[in-house]
Amino acid sequence: MDAFVPTPEQDALLRADVSALVTAGPGTGKTRTAIEKAIRVARELPSDSRQQVLFLSFSNAAVHRLSDAARIHVPFKDRRRLKFVTYHALAAEMLRMYGRFVGLPATMRIVDTLEETLLALEGGWPADGEAGYAELARRAAKERGLVTFGTMVGLAVALLKGTPLLRSLLARQYPLVIVDEFQDTSEEQWQLLQLVGDGSQVIAFGDPNQVIYGSLHAATERRMEQFQEWKGVRITPFSANNFRCGNAEILTVADAMLTGRRYTEKDGSGVEFVDIEYRSRLRAALALIWKAIREQIGKNETIAFLTPSNTLAEEVATGLRNPPVGATVRFPVHARIARDEAAHDAVLLALVAIRDCVRVPEDRTIAKAALALTAMELAWNSRRK
């Protein structure tokens, strides 16, 4: 494990034995500080106990990033003391063990997004988000043991609220809870965190400038105030020191964009502003920039393209991966695009259902094919009702 040299505020966090709410931008050492804190606490846990440090986040991507960092920086003997899960995964784990206390049958199971779509179609449920959908989903959980993604956290909250003994067990099992991407925690997830971490030390890392949904900025600010009241702490900001980017001026530009401040271009800063005719020449310009940078850096390094929306990010990545005929850079760039697993599975299900319908054309197989095609349409065309 390489040596970790913390900044003064990181060192204070590592030494303190109290909860904390940390705000810090990208590359300021949140992940490394969280991992280092977890190691220090884990090594103080009794060797004969099953206690662990719990890492929580709203997304699988954040959990995987933390887990990957632990594999790099945490000695093998200490890793068993660290647990990385999303709010939903933790909720599912508790429901499998104690779901009977909230009325779930012993044979309960978690259904994926595609199966939930089929369940809703077969049952004639209203659209997700409309009145009555959540109640029908809860009824399916209690009557048939089919727990949907949207009901997991709510059921776990109800379970913990009604079972003080389970809350005390969680406090003993997880003396330290570390929360990543706290700014994107939903209201239900926030309720779950308060119940899970009520008797534990909780350190939450977040950045209000990285809220995924712009409409949630006010809710994020309120939740940060609630955290401070809950644990009796004040916000701890990390300094602007960045350990991820070699050119600090790039981060100055990004910060100006986030905060709406004017940025004055500086000679020799390594930052260049280019006027591009949107869409028609975007791909070509970015490909040339990519090519120029690639010739200067190592093969194992990564180039980051920052965009203001996921839609634009996907458009840029798709264009770089699939150069048009006559493009300035003719070879494909290996840009990463996250695959929608539910949409992918919906296509496979539809193909299988159509095959079965062709082989055995009867009412049962025709109905299944129709449902599968409808589910595929919903998965791939989310803008249409």
Name residue, tokens 């099953």: 50
SS3 367: helix
pLDDT of 277 = 66
- Of 54, 52, 58, the closest CA to residue 84 belongs to 54
Q: Which residue has the higher pLDDT, 310 or 161?
A: 161
Count other C-beta atoms under 10 Å from residue 23's C-beta.
19
pLDDT of 205 = 93
- Of 53, 77, 67, 75, the closest CA to residue 175 belongs to 53
Q: Tokens standing for 292?
A: 């120029």
**Spatial contact of 370 and 109, defined as CB atoms under 8 Å apart:** no
Count other C-beta atoms under 10 Å from residue 57's C-beta.
25
pLDDT of 337 = 57
- Enclosing H/E stretch for 36: helix 30-42
pLDDT of 246 = 67
- Of 86, 87, 84, 100, the closest CA to residue 166 belongs to 100
Q: How far apart are CA 114 and CA 342, in angstroms?
A: 6
Instruction: Write out pLDDT tens, residues 34-92.
Output: 999 999 999 999 988 899 999 999 888 888 888 888 888 888 888 899 999 999 999 99
Residues in the chain: 385
Q: Which residue has the higher pLDDT, 355 or 252?
A: 355
Instruction: Write out pLDDT tens, residues 333-364.
Output: 665 656 677 778 888 888 999 999 999 899 98
Rounded mean pLDDT, 306-330 = 68
Mean pLDDT lowest for which of 8-22, 176-190, 267-281, 362-376? Answer: 267-281
Of the pLDDT bands very low, low, confident and very high (cuts 50, 70, 90), residue 310 is low
Mean pLDDT lowest for which of 106-115, 262-271, 323-332? Answer: 323-332
pLDDT over threshold 60, residue 297: yes
pLDDT of 325 = 65
Q: How far apart are CA 320 and CA 322, in angstroms?
A: 6
Name residue, tokens 């180039």: 303
Q: Tokens standing for 178?
A: 């570390």
DSSP one-letter string for 216-230: GHHHHHHHHHHHHHH
Rounded mean pLDDT, 191-205 = 96
- Of 89, 93, 97, 99, the closest CA to residue 62 belongs to 89
Query: Helices 282-294 and 310-321, interaxial angle, to 10°?
Result: 70
Q: How far apart are CA 120 and CA 378, in angstroms?
A: 12
* Average pLDDT in the chain: 84
SS3 237: strand
**Spatial contact of 181 and 212, defined as CB atoms under 8 Å apart:** no
Name residue, tokens 């989310």: 382
**Spatial contact of 137 and 145, defined as CB atoms under 8 Å apart:** no
- Residues facing residue 56 across a β-bridge: 85, 179
Instruction: Write out pLDDT tens, residues 209-234.
Output: 776 665 567 788 899 999 999 999 99
pLDDT of 59 = 85
Instruction: Write out pLDDT tens, residues 172-196.
Output: 999 999 999 998 898 999 999 999 9
DSSP one-letter string for 50-104: ---EEEEESSHHHHHHHHHHHHHHS-HHHHTTEEEEEHHHHHHHHHHHHGGGGT-
Share of the chain above pLDDT 70, in %: 84
pLDDT of 209 = 73
Q: Tokens standing for 173?
A: 């099992």
Q: Which residue has the higher pLDDT, 231 or 24?
A: 231
pLDDT of 141 = 95
Sign of CA dihedral 230, 231, 234, 236: negative
- Enclosing H/E stretch for 380: helix 363-380
Q: How far apart are CA 257 and CA 101, in angstroms?
A: 49
Burial 260-269 (b: 16+ CB within 10 A, else e): eeeeeeeeee
Count other C-beta atoms under 10 Å from residue 254's C-beta.
18
pLDDT over threshold 80, residue 284: no
Give, in order, the Cα–Cα distances in Å from 225 to each of 10, 21, 233, 239, 347.
Answer: 21, 10, 10, 21, 44
pLDDT over threshold 90, residue 260: no
Mean pLDDT lowest for which of 9-18, 83-92, 293-302? Answer: 293-302
Rounded mean pLDDT, 257-276 = 75
Q: How far apart are CA 226 and CA 36, in angstroms?
A: 26
SS3 385: coil
For the ranges 49-63, 254-268, 269-283, the maximum mean pLDDT occurs at: 49-63
pLDDT over threshold 60, residue 330: no
pLDDT of 175 = 96
pLDDT over threshold 90, residue 152: yes
